[in-house]
Structure 1
Amino acid sequence: MSDLILHHYPTSPFSEKVRLIMGHKQLAWQSVIIPRIMPKPDVLALTGGYRRTPFLQVGADIFCDTALICDVLEHHQPEPTLYPDRLKGMARALAQWADSTLFWAAMGYNLSPKGAAALFADQPLAHAQAFAADRSAMRTGMVTLRPGDATAAYRSYLRRLSSMVEDQPFLLGEMPCVADFAAYHPLWFSRVVNPVMADILDATPAVIEWMDRMAAIGYGEMGKLSATQAIEIAAAIEPAPLPEDIFQNDHGIALGSRVTVAAETFGQEPTEGILLAATRTRYTLERTDERAGKLHVHFPRVGYVLREVRA
């Protein structure tokens, strides 16, 4: 297997989720820092349209969405597992809640007028305006919580997390699982990226202690690459062979069709390519870029929409 290359930026909460999983599994990986906002020409050369952060590159294979990245890293290094026996379903369901409901409540709180003012206090006004416009475009069609509603929900969710870690070190037991990493990153944003907003955590000291245990995991062995180097790596290698069981036909769209895949909600920019696989859990598209060459771009089925491109 080629090197693990994570395309991310330091203050990205979902990137923190994956960085800690790298540490949990004691993996060596390469870091490529990408822009926070558009334009992202080097990103699009690899993904073909997908612009959410982070994404994982393994040679000429591009894996989008942290739910899929977790599965890829689990396959690459099964121990310690993200999906403990007898708790796999619960761990995945709790992680999905944390990556969506908890995350958006936390962001509604963190980016309230007070939070946004603190986050951009040392930056030119134009930077804050550009960030706000970029994220507004990504939220097209979404219903988002107002700051007051987000704050109330966030407080409630923190109490629920607290009840889970008052008598055990991690959410589902003695070892962290995928749910811990998913629940941690929105809280990390409050505590580390925008500490002016961290006082909301004070009412749940058990959560703070759990966060300390999570932070102690670290990031594993991190190297550094430029975006140009990552694109050159993709161009120099063929995508990995696909497994034999590659088609679960839930859409009536044949393999070999030209299709798009896009997120259901946040960041709906589509990636277009040839449908190579539609397995039980993921889609794989083949696309070609003039800089990166032939690529396989992979998406999870849950949370994404497959559409056929008709002439």
Structure 2
Amino acid sequence: MSDLILHHYPMSPFAEKIRAVLGYKQLAYQSVLMPRVMPKPELQALTGGYRRAPVLQIGADVYCDTALICDVLEHRASTPTLYPPAVKGATRIIAQWADTSLFWAAMAYNLSPKGAAALFAGTPEAVAKAFVQDRAAMAVGMTRLRPGDATAAYRSYLRRLANMLSDQPYLLGDAPSLADFSAYHPLWFSRVINPVMADILDATPGLLPWMDSIAAFGHGRPAELSPLDAIAVAAANTPAPLADEPFVDEHGIPLGSRVTVTPEIFGHEATEGELLAATRMHYTLRRQDERAGTLHVHFPRIGYVLRKAEG
């Protein structure tokens, strides 16, 4: 049985990104389904607050955000690579753009009045209302695109992606990279989860074979695991030793301090713990949970805010 545990839910675009990466690398993993909306007590027993999907667990180590999860999976299985050496920098830059600008334009388009009506057709009113309220709470303080502006931006982004694919099978050449998986998942939501909105893809038909090629990788080799069993796995393990990487102090907060890490723009649940590592790329916090035991929770630096804990 694989020690990789993926916490996710089926309609999550970012979870689809990681499922596709697992398929590309043909990795086995244990699949834990989480609720779409709060409360998420089993997940937060592991993360200490973070609630977004997906989360990767390996024993008592918990990895938040798909950018970091992809690095962990690359370390686990370096072939086939997500970061072709000749385009490694461009891969990360395009992936970050796709996970932010492209994603938010796509979701504002998909959740326009027409899209929302289709997405929740046949759903009990209370369930739809809970979803809308949950996402509104996550987006407090965030500037969101209006449907018309989102549609215009999304169309432009689709044309740019199609241009990149006009004479090559993948965005940066003959082989997939993280750029492809990051650009794929917002379009997947339009095409697969909310197909009423998929006609926006009609003007860029060259994207469809590329999407089909990503989908053809599948989702790896999942095996079902319950949320409570995932907590038991954490409790039965100790966190792995940290890599010997230099401490990069950008905040004047020494290691060993009580800190919080919070997503920068979407989802404001903070994770509190002892700062064990602050490297060039990520933070690691040690925390205790009465059910899951001692955990190391890892975050990328980009997209997250580190602060001293209050009190």
Unpaired stretches in structure 2, ≥5 consecutive residues: none
CA distances 1:159-190 after superposition (whole Å, capped 9, x unpaired): 00000112111100111100000000000000
Q: Which amino acid aligns with 1:152?
A: A
Residue in 2 that maps onto 1:194:
194
Structure 2: distance between partners of 1:74 and 1:266:
26
Q: Number of aligned residue pairs: give it.
A: 311
For residues 23 and 31 of structure 1, what CA distance do their matches in structure 2 show? 13
Structural RMSD (CA): 1.0
1:246 shift after superposition: 4.6
Q: TM-score, normalised by structure 2?
A: 0.99
Tell me what 1:131 maps to: 131
CA distance in structure 1 between the aligned counterparts of 2:183 and 2:258, rounded to whole angstroms: 36
Runs of 4+ in 1 over 2 A off after TM superposition: none
Identity of aligned pairs, percent? 68
- Supply the distance in 2 between the matched residues of 1:38 and 1:309 (Cα, whole angstroms): 24
Give the corresponding residue for 2:66: 66
CA contact (8 A) 1:232 1:292 kept: yes
TM, length-normalised to structure 1: 0.99
Contact 2:2–2:29 at 8 Å: present in 1 too? no
Structure-2 separation of matches of 1:2 and 1:183: 28
Indicate the SS of the match to 1:95: helix
**Per-residue Cα deviation, 1:141-170 (whole angstroms, up to 9, x for no partner):** 100000000001000100000001121111
Deviation, 1:2, is 6.4
Query: Which residue in the other structure is 1:222 paired with?
Result: 222
Match of 2:284 in 1: 284
Displacement of 1:310 in angstroms is: 3.8
Matched, 1:209 2:209: yes
CA distance in 2, matches of 1:200, 1:25: 30
Report the counterpart of residue 149 of structure 1 in structure 2.
149
Kept in 1, the 8 Å contact 2:6–2:31? The answer is yes
Secondary structure at 1:254 match in 2: coil
Q: 1:12 to 1:80 in 2, by over 3 A?
A: same
Query: Which residue number corresponds to residue 269 of structure 1?
Result: 269
Please state if 1:37 is matched with 2:31. no
Counterpart contact for 1:13–1:185, Cα < 8 Å: yes
Residue aligning to 1:163: 163
Distance apart, 1:249 and its partner CA: 1.1
Q: Secondary structure at the match of 1:229?
A: helix
SS of structure 1 residue aligned to 2:206: helix
One-letter amino acid of the structure 2 residue matched with residue 283 of structure 1: Y
- Amino acid in structure 2 at the alignment position of 1:113: P
Unmatched runs of 5 consecutive residues or more in structure 1: none
The 2-side partners of 1:9 and 1:240 are apart by 27
- Does structure 2 retain, via aligned residues, the 8 Å contact 1:92–1:179? yes
Q: Deviations over 1:120-144 (max 9, x none)?
A: 0011111111100000000011000
Aligned residue identity for 1:58: I
Whether the aligned pair in 1 keeps the contact of 2:30 and 2:224 (CA below 8 Å) is yes
2:274 aligned with 1:299: no
* Aligned position for 2:12: 12
Residues in 2 aligned to 1:269 and 1:144: alpha-carbon distance in whole angstroms: 19
